[in-house]
């Protein structure tokens, strides 16, 4: 066998081993977060670095992970009603929402996404923010992993804990303590809808000083929560608290 063939065979073996190692590592990483709260995300670290570079008085990130049973059921309902109403039934991807976003974006104006809650968790927990096709491909891979290895309940729990809901404020517990001076388990429908209303851009929109646009979004989200049937809509995802 020629040296050239030996070299090509060696390279192929290295590529296969690297691919297998990355695959096994990704499985282990996702499984770890199935039971362990993410200590931080790349986005949190980026926001802290940005705050430090801007010499803000308080560059620290406010983040406190709490389980679903320590949240008001209005909170998961609010984000599902606002962000992804087909969350209980899709497999991680909402094809109709993606196609609708593509059509809207072709018309120009503000770029809109069709990402599900599962895709947002995959992006925010395991990846960096960006718009490249490569990153979207990796996002799709991690989306499938969390759907298979976590399930809907854990996906929703992690999303509610790592979503940015204000400048450096991550998760519903930190947001509820900051804006309402109460724990996440005590918020009502209107307060939950207000937090969901700022999710598209938590830096531009504020739950502490809601603009007319945010208040209008809150009203529409609260109506959607009611139209979905209230908290019964998510009971298949979230077992009753007394059953946990």
pLDDT in tens, 86-128: 999 999 998 877 777 666 666 655 545 578 999 999 999 998 8
Predicted confidence at residue 105, as pLDDT, reads 60
Q: Where are the beta strands (DSSP E) in 9-142?
A: 62-63
- Per residue in 48-74, is it b (16+ CB within 10 Å) or e — as a string? beebeeeeeeeeebbbbbbebeebbbb
Please give the pLDDT value at position 244.
Answer: 45
pLDDT of residue 34: 96
Tell me which residues of the chain have a pLDDT lower than 50.
111, 243-244
**For the chain, what are the domain ranges?**
1-36, 39-243
What tens digit of pLDDT does each residue of 34-56 get?
Answer: 999 999 888 888 887 877 666 56
Distance (Å) of CA 159 to CA 24, 54, 125 = 24, 27, 9
Number of residues written out for the chain? 244
What is the structure's pLDDT at 45?
86
CATH code reported for the domain at 39-243: 1.10.3810.10
Alpha carbons 32 and 225: distance in angstroms, whole number: 32
What is the predicted pLDDT for the residue at 238?
81
pLDDT at 58: 59
pLDDT at 198: 96
Residue with tokens 């298949």: 236
Q: What is the pLDDT of residue 14?
A: 84
Report the alpha-carbon distance of residue 102 to residue 106 in Å, rounded: 6
What's the pTM value of the predicted model, to 2 decimals? 0.87
């Amino acid at each position: 066998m020629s040296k050239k063939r030996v070299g090509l065979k060696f390279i192929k073996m290295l590529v296969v081993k690297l691919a297998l190692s990355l695959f096994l590592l990704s499985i282990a990483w996702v499984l770890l977060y199935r039971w362990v709260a993410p200590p931080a995300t790349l986005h949190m670290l980026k926001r802290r670095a940005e705050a430090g570079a801007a010499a803000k008085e308080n560059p620290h990130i406010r983040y406190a992970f709490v389980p679903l049973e320590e949240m008001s059921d209005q909170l998961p309902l609010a984000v599902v009603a606002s962000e992804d109403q087909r969350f209980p039934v899709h497999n991680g991807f909402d094809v109709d929402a993606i196609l609708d976003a593509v059509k809207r974006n072709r018309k120009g104006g503000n770029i809109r996404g069709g990402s599900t809650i599962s895709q947002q968790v995959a992006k925010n927990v395991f990846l960096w923010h960006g718009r490249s096709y490569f990153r979207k491909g990796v996002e799709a891979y991690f989306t499938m992993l969390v759907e298979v290895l976590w399930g809907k309940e854990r996906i929703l729990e992690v999303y509610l804990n790592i979503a940015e809901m204000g400048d450096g404020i991550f998760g519903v517990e930190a947001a509820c303590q900051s804006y309402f001076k109460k724990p996440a388990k005590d918020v009502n429908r209107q307060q939950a809808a207000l937090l969901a209303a700022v999710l598209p851009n938590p830096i531009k929109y504020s739950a502490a000083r809601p603009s007319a646009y945010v208040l209008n979004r809150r009203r529409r989200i609260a109506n959607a929560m009611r139209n979905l049937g209230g908290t019964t809509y998510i009971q298949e995802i979230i077992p009753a608290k007394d059953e946990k």
